[in-house]
A = this chain, B = another copy of it.
Amino acid sequence: MASAAVSYARDNQQRFLSELKDLLRIPSISTLEEHKSDVRKAAEFVANELRRIGMENVEIVPTRGHPLVYADWLHAPGKPTVLMYAHYDVQPPDPLDEWVSPPFEPQERNSNLYARGAVDDKGQLWMEIKALEALMRAGNGKLPINVKVLIEGEEEVGGESIAEYVRREKAKLKADFALICDTELFAPDLPTLCVGLRGLVYTEIEAVGAKTDLHSGMYGGAAPNPFFALIEIISKLKDAKGRILIPGFYTRVKAPGAQELKAWKKLPFDEEHYRKSEVGSTMLTGEPGFSVLYRTWARPTLEVHGMPGGFTAPGAKTVIPAKASAKVSMRLVPNQDPDDILKRYKAYVKKLTPKGIQTNIKVWSKGPACVVGTNNKYIKAATEAMHDIFRKDTVFIRSGGSIPIVTDFQDVLKIPSVMMGFGLPDDNLHAPNEKFHIPNFYRGIESICLFFEKLGG
C-alpha cells in the first residue's frame, strides 16, 4: 500500500474536509422549487473543482430539470475506463426543529460531520473528486485509468434527466464499469460492497370530496370527507402484517439465491441492537417469516410519507376539507416492473375509492430494482482495495434504497456498477441530524485511489 496518492490524501485531509463543508453549505434541495438556484450553485461548485484538479471537457449539462455535471480524462490508453457517479442534490431538511445544529451549517461533533447531504451524497461525491485529485497529483497530472465523471442533481426526485442523458449519450459515456458512491458500510470498520438495490414507485393519491372546505358541525353526516376515503383506501393496500394487498403485486418477485441468503446470515447483525439503537421503536414490523435483512433488502414494501390537507396547526379547526392527499410509495425488488406495478396500484386504488370522492394519482418517481454481478475484475479490484485500507475481508450486501441510475448503466450502457459506499447505518439519511463519520470520508478517498491504481497497474 505504498501509494503516493494515499499519502497525498492523508496529507490533505483537513483541506478536503473544509472544502466539503463549503459544498454542504449550499442548500441544493432538488424537490423544492424555491431552491432551484441553490441546486445550480452546487452544480457549479462541483464543475469548478473538477476543472481545478485537472479534469478535462468539464461541462454543466442543462436539462429540463436540474443540470448534470460531466468531465473526463482519457489519456491512459489500454487501461480500463470508469464512469464515476454521485449526486449533488439533497433531501429537504424538515423537521427543522429536530436538528441539533442547522442542516446547512456543517458542524463537527465526535468525529462526525453533521449536515444535510453529509453522507447522502455530497460527502461521498467529494470522496470521488478528492481521490481523483490525489491520483492526479501523485501521478504528475496523470490518472492510472481513463475516467469519465457524471454527477446529477435529481437523485432525490427520481433522476429523470440523467436517465434521458444516458440514453442519448451512449457513445460519449462508453466505459468499462461504473463507480457509484452512494451506499453504506454494513458496520463500522467492515469493508462493504453493495450488489443490489430496491426499486421505487413514489405516488401521491389526491382525493377530492366537496367543492370547498365545510364546517364539520353543519355538514358532518352528509358531506364526504377525503381523509376517510384515503384512510379506507390505504387501510386496504397493506395488511397489519405488512403484506401488500394489491392484486398481482407479488407475482413477479424474484427471491435472492440460496448462497446469497446464506451469506447474509453470516453478517454481524444484532436485531435487538438494530431495533433499539437504529430504529428506536418498541418493536419491529414487517412480514413474518423473513429476516430483517431480507425484509429491507429483498422484499417489496409500501409506506405512507405524509398526508397533506385540512388543518394541521396546533389547536382545533372543525373543517371537513375539500381535498386531502397521501404520499404513498412502494419499494420494488428484482423482476418487478415499475410500470406494471403502477398499473395494478392505480386500478386497485380506483376500485377502493368510495362513492362521493374522486381520486387521482400523481407519480413523483419510478425506477426498477437491480442486482449487479460480482464476477468481474472491477468488483474484484474494489474488494481488494477496501480490504487493503480496512484490513478486513470485504462483504457483499444489498440496500433497501433505490439508485435508479444503476439499472440504466446496466441496461443502456451495458456496464456493471461497483457500489462502494462509506455511510453508516446510523447516519440519519433523509432524517434530521444526517452525518458522515469523518474517518470514513478519508477511508473512502483512499479506497478509491487504491482501487483505480490496482486497475491501472
Contact = CB atoms under 8 A, between A and B. Distances in A.
A281 B220 contact: no
A356 interface: yes
Q: Interface majority SS on A: helix, strand, loop or mixed?
A: loop
Interface stretch (A1-9, A15-23, A48-56, A306-314): A306-314
A228 B218 CA distance: 30
A72 interface: no
A352 to B, nearest CB: 11
Contacts of A156: 316-317
Contact of A33 (B211, B311, B314, B428): B314
Interface in A192-245: 198, 200, 202, 209-225, 227-228, 231-232, 234-235, 238, 240, 242
Contacts of A354: 240
Contact of A222 (B157, B209, B227, B286): B286
Nearest to A227: B304
Contacts of A281: 209-211, 223-224, 356-357
A312 B306 contact: yes
Given A157-B315, A306-B311, A400-B220, A213 B282 contact: no
A57 interface: no
B280 A222 contact: no
Interface residues of A, number: 99
A310 to B, nearest CB: 3
Contact of A356 (B231, B285, B305): B285
B225 A31 contact: no
Nearest to A306: B310
A383 interface: no
A446 B232 CA distance: 49
Contacts of A299: 221
30 contacts: A92-B315, A157-B315, A158-B316, A198-B217, A210-B279, A211-B279, A211-B280, A212-B428, A215-B431, A218-B429, A219-B278, A219-B400, A221-B242, A221-B287, A221-B292, A222-B284, A222-B295, A228-B234, A228-B238, A231-B231, A231-B304, A232-B240, A282-B355, A305-B319, A305-B321, A307-B307, A308-B312, A310-B327, A318-B430, A319-B430
Given A224-B281, A305-B311, A306-B312, 18 more contacts: A31-B315, A91-B317, A92-B317, A157-B315, A198-B217, A210-B279, A214-B431, A218-B400, A221-B287, A221-B301, A224-B279, A225-B285, A231-B235, A282-B355, A283-B355, A305-B316, A307-B310, A319-B430
Interface of A: 31-33, 91-92, 94-95, 98, 156-158, 198, 200, 202, 209-225, 227-228, 231-232, 234-235, 238, 240, 242, 274, 278-287, 290, 292, 295-296, 299, 301-321, 324, 327, 329, 331, 354-358, 364-365, 399-402, 425, 428-433
